[in-house]
Amino acid sequence: MKSKTIKSVMIAVSLIVFSCDEPETTVTNIVHSDGSVSRKIEMKNHKNNFKISDLQVPFDSTWTIKDTIEIGEKKDTTFIKTAEKQFKNVGEINKSYLSDKGANKEIKRKAIFIKKFKWFNTEYRFSELIDKKMSNGYPIKDFLNQEELNYFYSPGSVNNEKLNGKDSLKYKALVDTIKKKTDDWTGKSLISEWIYDFSRLVKGTAANDLTEASLKKNENEFVKLLKKYDNKFDSLWKAGVILKEMIGIDNAVKFKTEADSAIAIVTKYLTADFKDYSVRIIMPGKVIGTNGFIDKTETLLWPVKSDYFFTEPYEMWAESKTPNKWTWIVTGIFVIFVITGLAIRFLRKKQN
User: Which residue stretches of the chain are H helix?
Assistant: 6-14, 90-98, 146-153, 156-163, 168-201, 212-217, 219-229, 233-238, 241-247, 249-254, 256-270, 325-351
| Predicted confidence (pLDDT) per residue in 240-274, tens digit | 999 999 999 999 999 999 999 998 888 877 776 78
State the residue range of the domain holding 302: 19-133+274-324
Instruction: pLDDT band for 12, please (50, 70, 90 cuts).
Output: low
Q: Is residue 340 in some structural domain?
A: no
Q: Is residue 123 in some structural domain?
A: yes
Instruction: pLDDT band for 21, please (50, 70, 90 cuts).
Output: low
> In the chain, how many domains are there?
2
- Average pLDDT, integer, range 291-320: 92
Checking if the pLDDT of 136 tops 80, the result is yes
The pLDDT value given to residue 11: 56
The pLDDT value given to residue 16: 45
The pLDDT value given to residue 18: 44
The pLDDT value given to residue 325: 78
Q: Is residue 8 in some structural domain?
A: no
Q: Do 121 and 48 belong to one domain?
A: yes
The pLDDT value given to residue 1: 37
Q: Please name the amino acid found at residue 128.
A: E
- Average pLDDT, integer, range 217-236: 88
Could you tell me the pTM of the whole model?
A: 0.86
Checking if the pLDDT of 173 tops 80, the result is yes
C-alpha distances out from residue 118 to 112, 182, 289, 317, 322, Å: 20, 42, 16, 20, 10
Q: Do 226 and 172 belong to one domain?
A: yes
